[in-house]
Amino acid sequence: MSLRRPARKSLAEEKNAGPKSRQELQREAQRSGSRHRERGKARFKELEDELAAQSQRAKRFEAECQSLQELWAADQSFLEDLERYTKSLENEVARLREQEAYSLITSASDEATVSASLSAGDENAVLGAEIRRANASKIHVRPMPLGS
């Protein structure tokens, strides 16, 4: 189908051709209307397809947004868990440092007790100090104070 227009007739040819019949005019109008209608239908179909494509893009975008929101919520939950775990580790480190300091103090005190007890010949005091020293070296056991 050629997109070029037919060459225009000369004015003399048009005059010689005479008036077009009513049927010819109707046929031309129908052909012209049909062409416009077909172009309109094609354009409508293009617009429908474009709308469907945009709708699909919007759905994908919404799904991606939902996915990102879920990831963000999971990250927030993970960060909260990490903060709680860090705090518990800090508390455990503080407890272990306190226990280590107490153990060192107890050890020094027990050594003084052992020395004094050996000088005095008190074997029970020496044995008690040795037991406390052994218990103090275990991380999970809190040593008892000497006066107990």
pLDDT of 110 reads 67
pLDDT of residue 85: 94
CB 115 within 8 A of CB 131: no
Q: Please tell me the predicted confidence (pLDDT) of residue 30.
A: 80
CB 126 within 8 A of CB 115: no
Which pLDDT does position 80 carry in this prediction? 94
Q: Which residues of the chain have pLDDT under 70?
A: 1-19, 110, 113-127, 129, 133-148
Tell me what pLDDT residue 103 has: 76
| pLDDT on residue 116 | 66
Give pLDDT, residue 148.
Answer: 43
* Burial annotation 55-77 (CB, 10 A radius, 16+ → b, else e): eeeeeeeeeeeeeeeeeeeeeee
